[in-house]
Amino acid sequence: MPVSSQHKVYLPAQARDNQYLLAEFVLTDELLAAFPANDAAKPYEHFYQQLAQQFFELADAAQLHNVHVIANGKTPVVRFHQEAYVLQTAEQILFFYNPTYHEAQHSFYDGSVRARKISLLFLATEQPLRSNAAKFHQQVTTVLQQLLTKLNATALKVKIRDHQHLTYDLFGKAKGSKESYGYKLRSIDARYKARQCELPAHSALTYVIVNLPLSRRVKEQVKLDLQSSNPYLPLYQKVSDSFVSACQPEQLKHLAVLANGLLPLVRNSQFDKSSHGQELQMIGFDPSATTGQLISDLQGEKLVEMMQLVIFATPDDQTDMGYGRFMNQVETALRRFAKALNLQPERDDLTVRFHQHISYHS
């Protein structure tokens, strides 16, 4: 096999692509002072309105047509969907959209409450997303610079996160999706440099999150004692053991197994500590941990609809070609795992989401 082929992974042509940038900055007294309150009951309403108006105008001029202002402390979660939805929970704002068709502008705030920070969300819409990712990043940073200038806040520290992910069903071919496309999965930095987009010093993360629905067939593989205080722990432990065992031959050592009903947010533990709320769980991996890590949160007292499995890429998993070899190892491990659980490709879903993420302060 040619060396270049070893570094390509062939994913279903129907793999769903997303990219979004999130820019965050602290809401300071100086910013608020520039937009005096005109409503005593809602002292921050005027600021939020003016910020959104100026932001949307600049975004329109830059042909960025799916942008949002978030000033309620909630975490945005972005997913591909054929229909556009924006749903809010206590801790999240979920954006479902198809980049090819959907455009939107929304503001999320309470004019009577002062937000700790302002978050500006930019959803990519220009296809093909991966080829246009560098251009989109440059458009976003230009709009941010223009907005800070308008706000007379160019000295403000802004944290920028660029998220990109590919999502597909591991069993897509068995369900009739025969076409595939070869990806080298180069790092964001390498792709941007090739398009004359130089990034400042930044941190980068690459990882895979796998969603395993706990179907009746999977649950029936383990005899459960429903009178136990942790009746579902044996089921979760079987899945965990099968997953870890499947990853070992591929030298995939930075893993997480979650059965708690929370949405995992993967971070670098050198900068962010693990934590969780009512809906979200931040899990931190140390890329320099050569012996590997296993993060496990199995809440055996309750039955979850879906378990989530995380495979974190270390610097050793990246080659000059990209992460294609890493993803081939991931797919090999997941097929071994699926066989151990007796999953049926024609009927079961095993959703794989390949994440690439960079962040920096401007």
> Would you give per-residue pLDDT tens digits along the chain (362 residues)?
454 567 899 999 999 999 999 999 999 999 999 999 889 999 999 999 999 999 999 999 999 999 999 999 999 999 999 999 999 999 999 999 999 999 999 999 999 999 999 999 999 999 999 999 999 999 999 999 999 999 999 999 999 999 999 999 999 999 998 899 999 999 999 999 999 999 999 999 999 999 999 999 999 999 999 899 999 999 999 999 999 999 999 999 999 999 999 999 999 987 666 678 899 999 999 988 989 999 999 999 999 999 999 999 999 999 989 999 999 999 999 999 999 999 999 999 999 999 999 999 99
From the list 333, 309, 350, the residue with the least C-alpha distance to 207 is 309
Q: Tell me the C-alpha distance between 96 and 31, whole Å.
A: 31
Q: Tell me the C-alpha distance between 87 and 69, whole Å.
A: 15
Q: Tell me the C-alpha distance between 326 and 96, whole Å.
A: 28
Query: What pLDDT sits at residue 271?
Result: 67
Classified as helix, coil or strand, 100 is coil
CA distances from 342 to 51, 176, 247, 348 (A): 54, 20, 17, 10
Q: Could you tell me which residues are beta bridge partners of residue 352?
A: 168, 210
Question: CB–CB of 189/360 below 8 Å?
Answer: no
Q: Strands 280-285 and 263-268: what pairing?
A: parallel
Q: Tokens 């790092």 sit at which residue?
A: 187
Q: At what angle do helices 324-340 and 233-247 cross, to 10 degrees?
A: 140
Cα 240 from chain centroid (whole Å): 22
Q: Which helix (H) or strand (E) holds 218?
A: helix 216-219
Q: Tokens 């151990």 sit at which residue?
A: 340
Q: Give the alpha-carbon dihedral of 47, 79, 197, 358, to 10 degrees.
A: 80
Question: CB–CB of 168/11 below 8 Å?
Answer: yes
Provide the residue type at 43 as one letter: P
Query: What pLDDT sits at residue 273?
Result: 64
Q: Could you tell me which residues are beta bridge partners of residue 104?
A: 66
Which tens digit of pLDDT belongs to each residue from 234-246? 999 999 999 999 9
Query: What pLDDT sits at residue 1?
Result: 45
From the list 160, 139, 169, 254, the residue with the least C-alpha distance to 207 is 254
Query: What pLDDT sits at residue 3?
Result: 47
Question: CB–CB of 75/94 below 8 Å?
Answer: no
Whether a cis peptide bond, with omega within 30° of 0, leads into 36 is: no
Question: CB–CB of 219/287 below 8 Å?
Answer: no
From the list 254, 236, 206, 347, the residue with the least C-alpha distance to 302 is 236
